[in-house]
Structure 1
Amino acid sequence: DRKKMESIEILVQKLRRVNSSHDEARIDYIASLCENSNPDHRYISEIMLASGLLLTPSVRDFDFHPSGHPINPELFHVLEQTKGGTAAPRGHRKLVFDAANEILAGRMPAKCGRGATGQMVLRDVCSEIEKLLRGGGGIPKRDDEGGERRRWQWKSAVSDDVMGTSVRWIDPESGISGPVLDIERMIFKDLVNEIVIGESAAKI
C-alpha cells in the first residue's frame, strides 16, 4: 500500500545517505559499527540497522516478522536499491542476507541472554558468517570450466560447535548443549544448499 511504499522510500534514502562517500569529512556511521573493513560485515551491519535489530536495547524483546524470520525477507530488495554499481554480486549478498537471517532465527530469542544487545549480536553473526565463508575457500570461486560458482563449506563451523568453541548469546549461568546447535546447522546447511542449487540451475 501507499504507506508501506513511502516508508520503504524513506528507508532507502536514509541508507543512501549513510553509505554516501561524497563528503569525506562525514563520519562513516556503518563503518563505525564494524570492527574491521570486511565488506560482508558492513553489509550485515546495514541489514541489522535497517531492520531495527541493531539498535534494540535487548534482543530478547525484538519481535519476529510474521514470515517467521527475525528480519523481513523483503528487506533484501529494499537494500538492493542502495547498491548501484557495488563490486559484490547480488547473488553473494543474497546468500549473506539469508545466512544472517537463518543464524538469527536459530538463536533468537531463547538463546539470547537478557543482557544481549544488537551490537553483541552483530559481532557474533559477523563472526559466524566469516567462518562459514572462510571454510568454503572464499566466494565467489571459479570451477574448472571458468564459470563462477558460489559454494558454502560448513564442516569447520559444525566442528567448532561440537568442540564448544562457537559463540553463544546466553547468560553465563545457563547451559545450552552444543548438539542442539549442531542439528540447527544441519537444517541450515540444507536450506542454503537449496538456494545454491537453485541459482546454478537458473544459470544453465
Structure 2
Amino acid sequence: MTGNDLVLRFRYPDESQSQHANDMRTVNIKQVAVSDEQETEADLYKFYHPVIQGLRTGVTTYHRMNTSTGTWMMAGSIDWQTDSTCNVFFGGTEKVPPLSNYYVRQRTKNVQVHIRELRKSKKATSKSRRFKAGGSEYKWKLAENGRDLTCLSQQLTSYGKTVAEWSQETLTLRVAERVEPILDRVVVTLFLNLWMRSMDDW
C-alpha cells in the first residue's frame, strides 16, 4: 500500500437519529482526502436497506457518486432471500474516483452473482473468502485480531500482494490505486463480509 491509495470511510447512521442504526446494510461511504494535514470527506457510495420491523430480507440498493455531475448513479442491488443468502447485481458505469487515469468502464447489462461466488472458502475453517473480479481472483483474509480484514491478490504475477485493507477501529478502507477499476467489487465484497461477520457467520 502507498500514499496514492484511495481512502474510504464508512459512516453508519447515528443510533439516536435513525431507524437504520441497527442494520449495517445502510451506510454512507466517503472518500477521504488530506491536504495540509486537514481531512475532507466527499460522497462516493451509499447503501440503503429498507427497515421493516421483524423482517431481515428485502433489497439493498447501492449508488455511486458521479463526480463529474455531482449526482448519484445506481450501481447495483443486493436481493436478500435470508439473512445470509442473496443475489448481488452489479450494473451501470464502474466510475473511478477523480485523479485517476484509469478508463471508466461501461457495462451493457447487470451482472448477477450469488453471494457464494463472492465469499468462496477452500475449507470450513478458512479465515479467507475469495472472489473474482476483472478476470483475476482475490481474497479477503480475517486478521489475527478477528476484526480487521486484508484483501490479497491471487494472480500469479502479484500473488499475496495487499490490494485493500479494512480497519474496524476507524471504519476505514484503503484501496490500492491499481485495483480502482474493480472498486465496486472490492467495496461490495467487503460490505458482504462485514455483514456476515456481524451475523457470526464468517
TM-score normalised according to structure 1 size: 0.31
Task: Kindly indicate which of the two structures has a greater share of residues assigned to helix.
Answer: 1
**Structure whose CA Rg is larger:** 1
Task: Kindly indicate which of the two structures has a greater share of residues assigned to strand.
Answer: 2
Greater RCO, 1 or 2 (C-alpha within 8 Å, sep 6+): 1
TM-score normalised according to structure 2 size: 0.31
